[in-house]
Structure 1
Amino acid sequence: MNLKNGLLLLLSIFIACSAFSQVQTPLYKNANTPITSRVNDLLSRMTIEEKVGQLSALLGWDMYLKKGNQVEVSDLFKKSVAEQQIGMLWATLRADPWTKKTLKTGLNPELAANATNELQRYIIKNTRLGIPLLLAEECPHGHMAIGTTVFPTAIGQASTWDPDLIEQMASTIAVEARLQGAHIGYGPVLDLAREPRWSRMEETYGEDPYLNAEMGKAMVKGFQGNNLKSGINLASTLKHFVAYGNPDGGHNGGSISVGQRELFESYLPPFEEAVKAGAWSVMTAYNSVDGIPCSANPFLLKTVLRENWKFNGFTVSDLGSISGLYNNHNVAASKEDAAALAINSGLDQDLGGYGYGAQLLKAIEQGKVSQKTLDSAVARVLWLKFEMGLFEQPYVDPNKAAKLVGSAQNTQLANQVAKESIILLKNENHLLPLQKNLKRIAVIGPNANNSYNQLGDYTAPQQEDRVVTVLEGIRNKVGKNAEVTYVKGCNIRDTTEQSIAEAVELAKKSEVAIVVLGGSSARDFKTEYQNTGAAIVSDKISDMESGEGFDRATLDLMGYQLKLLQEVVKTGTPVILVLIEGRPLNLNWPATNVPAIINAWYPGQEGGNAIADVLFGDFNPAGRLTVSVPKSVGQLPVYYNHKQPSPHGYVEMDEKPLYSFGYGLSYTSFDYRDLEIKVSEEERDLKVAVEFKLVNTGKFDGDEVIQIYIKDNVSSVVTAVKQLKRFKRVNLKVGEAKIVKFSLTADDLAIFDNQLRKVVEPGQFTLMVGASSDDIRVQGMFNVSKEVLR
């Protein structure tokens, strides 16, 4: 063989080997192939067991072992991979008393990134098809992991009335979680909260569907960005679908009876808008709606979500809600029947791993679930893995996690969100802002110097030096110019110890007393938990009176808190009440007897500095209530956008809340002038142009939260007395005036008529502009001449 022929032979062998290699490379591993083809190819290679495994999201925190500064996969993880072919983990990096992960046994950001890398490496190398994991994490007000940035809880986020800021916050949360190896962020929570006795109000944006929708869209956009392959974005999971936030009697997970029109008018719109914003996942709620459990409701999961809204992502159960069809709701005769009922109703994935798994395999063997139904669910989960580029890059950089998670820049953003969330409820005789030349300041109360009480539920343990309490914030503010002295006074709930007399003596010696009361969602290692993670209320005394599982029968301040406040007020020293809480509490006595009140909800790690900035005038508060504060549980439900006719008073009191939706004061004042309304009707749409002048007439620069409400004066079905349709947070300098413009569309005026058509009916509308739902400054009427079908 001559040299030329030899070279030709070698070339032929090389070409043949290359062709053979290309044939042997699975299509699903080719990044240049369309995702649809990759999903179909992978499905064609999978066994039934592997497919079912992709639908199981097991609890993740026991899947790693920490040994000093090293992390490795656990035997439980190896067993789960071998026996269940799992495709997803949930809360791998979560740390709290339920998971029994502490600052010592849990993972810092660098170790967290190492842990997720090890999990991915193991499953890719030790499974037949090498399908990477999806890792989902709790991210409602920060990634629920050690060392991350803790922002205000959702009720505080909404109180900013600043969606742009919340989008920025969500983007920061996404970066911190993604750098540690997470792919899915659970949030936003879009439950419409009209029941303050319910334990999870702090996780919501309040009582209004439009405000919820705007905040939800901001979270989705912040989490997901424009490219899930970016390495800094998360897929968003919407919670809890649907009508979870208004349970009968305030019982967490309890049933709700609601008409279909109310469902479409109030409870579904926030989810619809978040789906339109591109949300990748939707979690079902524990409750039933009109007798149908949400985790087995084909009308919600198929007709509404997929057919009407064109949702293409995947649905996931809440923890244990599939087996709950069998052992809670009793709509399934066996666990395999529950699995079949859920997946046939349109529920794709099982959070926890014990609702599907063996139960779903058994249902498939019995012919209760078709191959097509299984493949459709699996395809939607696999699609996200391809969309995120996990087959090409399943790993993260631990050095980036160590450097960027919990950074100073992120802490400053937490401070800004906290400041904007603070609501000034009362300021008699302009007691606030305080002068910085005070010499003796008393700081009193169980929430004045308790870092965990100001962080809220779904928060991991944090280093003490990362959380600034109110006491520390005030000391940071005044420095050595004033003597700042602290007495706890009492606990949130526990009445076995108190130091009220000591607090009274301190107040007498001080120029001002700042009393910090409220509630707590701080979990502790004495609390027992259900297998869903909800706390079990028991006779054991803890401070926790809010947070998942802690429903209330009253809204009164617990323990000796009211007594402490009353005794301090008796001293005659000016008193400022600061509320740190997860739900609106009974403020009847303070509203009458305390000169200044601010509500900070759970303000997060920078809460103390933010509150001090407001107290001393370095930040002019402009937070507004997103939930009405009742005078009594006997008024419940009490929300601003109730149906006509207006309610009447009771024998004991009037029907109005103590503080209404949208309420909040400022250190300055604003004037609304010269309202103009112009309607332009088009063939299939209309536009309502709104314009007016806003003037800062006070003595401080500040923000005003402008609120636009609409009332349909005559309609074919009963509608709300008013409904929020637009809002905007606007900053004005002293004496500054701005022309403010809004534009409404047909969707803003549409109702669901007696045939459940979404339609704008011709007739007269009232447009109201004001500073809260019960503080309308200017208003006008306009007419629509023809029907507009949406």
Structure 2
Amino acid sequence: MVSAQEVFRFRNLALPVEERVKDLLHHMTLEEKVGQMLSPFGWEMWVKEGANIYPSDKYQQYVEQRQIGMMWGAYRADPWTEKTLETGLNPKLAAETGNELQRYVIENTRLGIPVFLAEEAQHGHMAIGTTVFPTGIGLAATWSPELIEKIGSVISREVRVQGGHIAYGPVLDLVRDPRWSRVEETYGEDPVLTGRLGAAMVRGMGAGKIDSINGVISTLKHFVAYGVPEGGRNGSSAMIGMRDLHTNFLPPFREAVKAGALSVMTAYNSVDGIPCTSNKYLLTDVLRSQWGFKGFVVSDLFSIEGLRSNHYVAETIHDAAKLAVNAGVDVDLGGNAFLRLIDAVNTGELQMSVIDTAVSRVLRLKFEMGLFDNPYVDPSKAMAVVRSPEHINMALEAARKSIILLENKDNILPLSPKKVKNIAVIGPNAHNRYNMLGDYTAPQEDSNVITVLDGITSIVGASKVNYVRGCAIRDTSWDEIDRAVEAAKNADVAIVVVGGSSARDFETSYIDTGAAIVKDGYLSDMDAGEGFDRATLDLLGKQMELLKAVKATGTPVVVVYIQGRPLDMNWASEHANALLTAWYPGQQGGNAIADVIFGKYNPAGRLPVTIPRHVGQIPLYYNSQNPKGHDYVDMSLSPLYSFGYGLSYTKFEYSDVKVVDKGNNHFEVSFIVKNKGKHDGEEVAQLYLRRQFASTVQPMMQLKHFKRLHIQKGKQEKIVFSISPDDLTIVDINYNEVIEPGKFTIMIGSASDNILLSDELVVE
């Protein structure tokens, strides 16, 4: 073996990156090139003995035999990886592990190419001891790109200081079916909201500054239309048309690419009969040729093998690998399919130029990130940076802003800590730490996660609180509803916390991709999270029985849903005195919920997704195309709660809308929002457009602009939105984005079904 310290031109820091890439590529064998296109499981690559970390035998074997260039989830801990608080890595050990893995590959390979460490980081780095934010659907409920960008910077700092380089996230799948198991990871149903928030997360994660200690490569998931599977079944075909694809599902990814995203992950599903992992039109024509994407494409876990075993478009893994790489996939996540590319090149079935192009994309980013020059991190900094007080406060702010007040009858909320003498805190999600966190979360110390019970107790004191779990999320083999009833009878108010869970445990089984398997004979709380698709949106187990029994006591009831998808809220909407949804609010969720209930924070979260009345209404989303549907024989077409909806403890008044034509299809829309209530508060002003007539069928309304702003009681703010040509385009009959002359209706309000101002603009 030639020493990795041998001097090559690519080691010259003064050379441009492109020259360094070209020189390195010139020295690489075919096997070394293909190795850069592999990304095996990172948690299998190290061994922990006490406080010492060593490269595992498997890692040494993979370095020698496969020359791997990337790893996924080296710091990941969860039941699937079988890494626990005891057997996993704290931030300092994680940084040391990353250094050891880098040191081994650099010192024991011919060219000394550093490895990329890719980590899950949708709502916080999926590693022990990190900061856990609300899941994606909760972050979307904030309607605050400014906050999301700050959260992105926190996540990127925590990943990078531990030696990671790539953060898997944000998830930009639009969701139209709440039965799907991964709703919680998304930013909801709307392309504009999703695109704005996704771009903000990418900017926060370090777009344009990956060479700094705070920047990472963000990986957009999942390209594309993964969130609308047939029947709500994870990975099933997306039954959408090409115009719908270009109008709704592609734009959020385009916005994030424009913001600087440098990695994209393919989706498991197919669109119009073409699997996304072998779709050259999407991965090459659209992503690279049309959008100018300069990063690399990574397959979702084993999705290249899935071209054979799931989609049946390839008879062999060999053929599947060729399909994927020719379509534009650069990296094989977790699988072995790309190893077959060596034979494909040697037999002349695949051009070496295809391999060189893919490898260059990966190597270029390694050079730009500075890994060839300084591949190591300082472990002493990791413990100080990760989950710092500043980051915990950010988690609290995010959780507060994600909470949505859906009902507040007779203004029962906020409660007064002084006036309320006895509080019953009830429900399966009132004091379950992992049910607060959602999927893609590592094990956490108990002290790191604040439950609703913890939060309430911290405000009113333990002497005023009586906690009864009442029942489980799914398990019906036991309950303590009678105890819950007694607690409610003796209370001034009952706070009942129900919903669902994505908390993985060591009893649940997992398939190779990490998705959970529903097993007979064992009922964890898990009703959401990857693989847990549902046929019903009802509360499971005995939760509805619990709610009805507590309500029957006559004690006022505040119901809180902690959930990963929109669940049936009909009963609570009608019978609860107050109703909130907190989604999965993260490690500070309990404090945030208590702050809202007791008025320390005035809620202003807004729904990023429609809440249906019944599963039979699905798909139900606000921006469906004309014509407007009619009611069913047995129920209304209208949702229970509409996209953009959310209440406050104060009241806002909208007035004085003005539209100014600035020329060249630019318009300025201004209006006044006044706080007429008794509390300071935040409002989320929303502007929708409706194209009155067009050459192709258009949505009945489409969000174009929004702004979350704080207004003191009695004060008012002028809001100005600038409408650009991008806001006016449609996809015409030839699939071109065009601006057609005609009239648009401007609709301004606090929700998609609460339009308070309207006007018209004319495009000549």
Question: Which band: TM-score by shorter chain?
Answer: over 0.9
Q: CA deviation at 1:24?
A: 6.9
The amino acid of 1:49's aligned partner reads E
Task: Give the drift of 1:739.
Answer: 1.1
Aligned equivalent of 2:494, options 493, 513, 518: 513
Q: 2:221 aligns with which of 239, 245, 266?
A: 239
Counterparts of 1:309 and 1:430 in 2: how far apart (Å)? 50
Show CA shifts across 1:681-725 (max 9, x none). Answer: 32xxx2110011110000000000000000000111100000000
Secondary structure of the residue aligned to 2:686 is strand
Find the partner of 1:80 among 50, 55, 62.
62
Aligned to 1:229, the other structure's residue is in SS state coil
The equivalent of 1:731 in structure 2 is 710
* 1:265 equivalent in alignment to 2:244: no
Match of 2:282 among 265, 281, 300: 300
> SS of 1:675's equivalent?
strand
Q: Which residue of 2 aligns with 1:395?
A: 376
How far has the Cα of 1:136 moved from its partner? 0.2
Q: How much has 1:364 moved relative to structure 2?
A: 2.1
Q: Which of 639, 661, 668 is equivalent to 1:689?
A: 668
* Structure-2 residue corresponding to 1:355: 337
Query: 1:283 is matched by which residue type in structure 2?
Result: M
1:565 maps to 2:565: no
Aligned equivalents of 2:304, 2:732: Cα separation in 1? 35
Distance (Å, rounded) in 2 between the aligned partners of 1:25 and 1:560: 69
Q: Determine if contact 2:118/2:165 at 8 Å carries over to the other structure.
A: yes
Selected match of 2:429 from 440, 447, 451: 447
Asked if structure 2 preserves the Cα contact closer than 8 Å seen for 1:171 and 1:225, the reply is no
Q: CA deviation at 1:225?
A: 4.5
Counterpart of 1:96 (choices 78, 81, 84) is 78
Instruction: Report 1:578-597 matches (<5 A).
Output: 578-597=560-579
In the TM superposition, residue 368 of structure 1 has moved relative to its aligned partner by 2.1
> Matched residues in 2 for 1:62 and 1:24: separation?
30
Contact preservation (8 Å) 2:655, 2:671: yes
Secondary structure, counterpart of 1:475 in structure 2: helix
CA-to-aligned-CA distance 1:179-208 (integer Å, 9 cap, x gap): 101000000000001110000000000000
1:367 maps onto 2:348 in alignment: yes
- 1:616-765 equivalences in 2 (<5 Å): 616-682=598-664, 686-765=665-744
Amino acid at match of 1:760: I
Letter in 2 for 1:422: I
Letter in 2 for 1:636: I
Structure 2: distance between partners of 1:207 and 1:389: 38
Say if 1:158 and 1:205, in contact at 8 Å, map to a contact too: yes
Conserved? CA contact 1:706–1:729, under 8 Å: yes
- 1:38 maps to which residue? 20
Indicate if the aligned counterparts of 1:451 and 1:467 stay in contact, CA closer than 8 A. yes
Partner of 1:554: 536
Aligned partner of 2:397 among 416, 419, 426: 416
SS at match of 1:230: coil
Deviation string for 1:495-515 (max 9, x for gaps)?
A: 011000000000000000000
Which of 55, 62, 75 in structure 1 is aligned with 2:44?
62
Is 1:462 aligned to 2:441, yes or no? no
1:55-97 Cα shifts (integer Å, max 9, x gaps): 0001000111111111111111001101111000000000000
The question of 1:256 aligning with 2:256 is answered: no
1:545 and 2:524 correspond: no
Map 1:155-170 → 2, pairs under 5 A = 155-170=137-152
Task: Report Cα offsets for 1:256-315 as digits up to 9, x if no partner.
Answer: 121111100000000001011110000000000000000000000111001100111100
Pick aligned residue for 1:534 from 515, 519, 538:
515
Distance of 2:472 and 2:530 partners within structure 1: 20
Tell me whether 1:436 sits opposite 2:413 in the alignment: no
Contact 2:207 2:217 in 1 (8 A): no
Deviations 1:359-398, CA, capped at 9 Å, x for gaps: 2222223322110000000000000100100001100010
CA contact (8 A) 1:281 1:316 kept: yes
Equivalent position amino acid for 2:615 in 1: V
TM-score by length of 2: 0.99
Distance in 2 (CA, whole Å) between partners of 1:71 and 1:393 is 20
AA partner of residue 309 (structure 2): N
Specify the SS of the correspondent of 2:399.
Answer: helix
CA contact (8 A) 1:179 1:232 kept: yes
Give the secondary-structure state (helix, strand or coil) at the position aligned to 1:743: strand
- Residue 746 of structure 2 is matched in structure 1 by 767
Q: In 2, are the aligned partners of 1:677 and 1:688 still within 8 Å (CA)?
A: yes
Equivalent residue of 2:211, what SS? helix
User: What is the CA–CA distance in structure 2 between the aligned matches of 1:483 and 1:25, rounded to whole Å?
Assistant: 71
**Distance in 2, Cα, partners of 1:721 & 1:681:** 26
Read off the aligned partner of 2:100 and give its amino acid letter. Answer: E
1:577-627, Cα deviation, whole Å (9 max, x unpaired) = 011000000011111111100100000000000000000001000000000
Deviation at 1:321, TM superposition (A): 0.2
Q: 1:503 aligns with which of 472, 478, 484?
A: 484
Q: For residue 606 of structure 1, what is the aligned residue in structure 2? A: 588
Listed as ranges, the matches of 1:137-216 within 5 Å are: 137-216=119-198
Give the 3-state SS of the residue equivalent to 1:741 in structure 2: strand
Letter matched to residue 258 of structure 2? K
Q: Take 1:335 and 1:80, find their aligned partners in 2: how far apart are those partners?
A: 20
* Number of residue pairs the alignment of both structures matches: 759
Q: Return the alpha-carbon distance in structure 2 between the equivalents of residues 24 and 155 of structure 1.
A: 50
Q: Take 2:241 and 2:379, find their aligned partners in 1: how far apart are those partners?
A: 50
Corresponding position: 1:217 with 2:196: no
The CA deviation at 1:227 is: 1.7
Q: Which amino acid aligns with 1:766?
A: T
CA drift at 1:538: 1.3
Cα distance between partner residues in 1 of 2:542 and 2:616: 23
Q: Distance in 1 between matches of 2:239 and 2:553?
A: 49
Find the counterpart in structure 2 of residue 131 from structure 1.
Answer: 113
One-letter amino acid matched to 2:716: A
| 1:442-469 C-alpha deviation (Å, 9 max, x unpaired) | 0000000000001000000000001000
Aligned residue for 1:461, secondary structure, equals coil
Contact 2:207 2:260 in 1 (8 A): no
Whichever of the two has the greater Rg, that structure is 1
| Closer, same or farther: CA 247–575 of 1 in aligned 2, 3 Å | same
Is the 1:705–1:771 Cα contact (8 Å) retained in structure 2? Answer: yes
Take 2:208 and 2:238, find their aligned partners in 1: how far apart are those partners? 37
What RMSD over aligned residues (CA atoms) do the two structures have, in Å?
1.1
Q: Tell me which amino acid in the other structure corresponds to 2:46.
A: Y
Q: What TM-score does the superposition give when structure 1 sets the normalisation length?
A: 0.95
Q: Among 294, 318, 331, which residue is 1:312 paired with?
A: 294
Q: Structure 1 residue aligned with 2:407, among 426, 440, 456?
A: 426
Deviation at 1:322, TM superposition (A): 0.3
Q: Aligned letter for 1:756?
A: Y
AA paired with 1:191? D
**Structure 1 residue 229 displacement after superposition:** 1.5
The separation in 2 between residues aligned to 1:172 and 1:135, in whole angstroms, is: 18
For 1:256 and 1:281, the matched residues in 2 are separated by: 22
